[in-house]
Amino acid sequence: MFINRGRIVLNCGMEEFESRYLELMVHPKNAAAARALGPIHERQVLGRAILLFDRADRHQLAALGDLRSPSIADLFLALLGNKPGEARAAAQGTNR
């Protein structure tokens, strides 16, 4: 459970967490296509974009780069690092 300013922004078990969230280290040539799929967060690492998705199609994302489950810390920073109000929408899957 993640709480931000007294509001619950994420409430799910580990099993749901692992099936719901995906992190994509996108190949540079596929960056625009990946962004078009509506990631809830993006960050840059070593010159490559890493996009975080909620309830996205695993096979569709795998064609665009390297896919993995995000760490809890990465999801925490993504959800609580958004602008006020966006974290709750992102956690509920409505920020697309």
pLDDT at 82: 56
What's the whole-model pTM score? Answer: 0.73
How high is the pLDDT of residue 2? 67
Q: Determine which helix (DSSP H) or strand (DSSP E) holds 68, and give its type and residue range.
A: strand 65-68
Q: Report the pLDDT value the prediction gives residue 10, as an integer from 0 to 100.
A: 66
Output the pLDDT for position 94. Answer: 43
* Closest to 41 in 3D by CA, of 72, 74, 17, 64: 74
3-state secondary structure at position 88: helix
What pLDDT score does 87 carry? 43
Tracing tokens 């509506």 back to the chain, one arrives at 38
Per-residue pLDDT tens, the chain, 96 aa: give them: 666 677 766 667 777 768 889 999 999 999 999 999 999 999 998 889 999 999 999 999 999 999 999 988 888 788 777 554 444 455 455 443
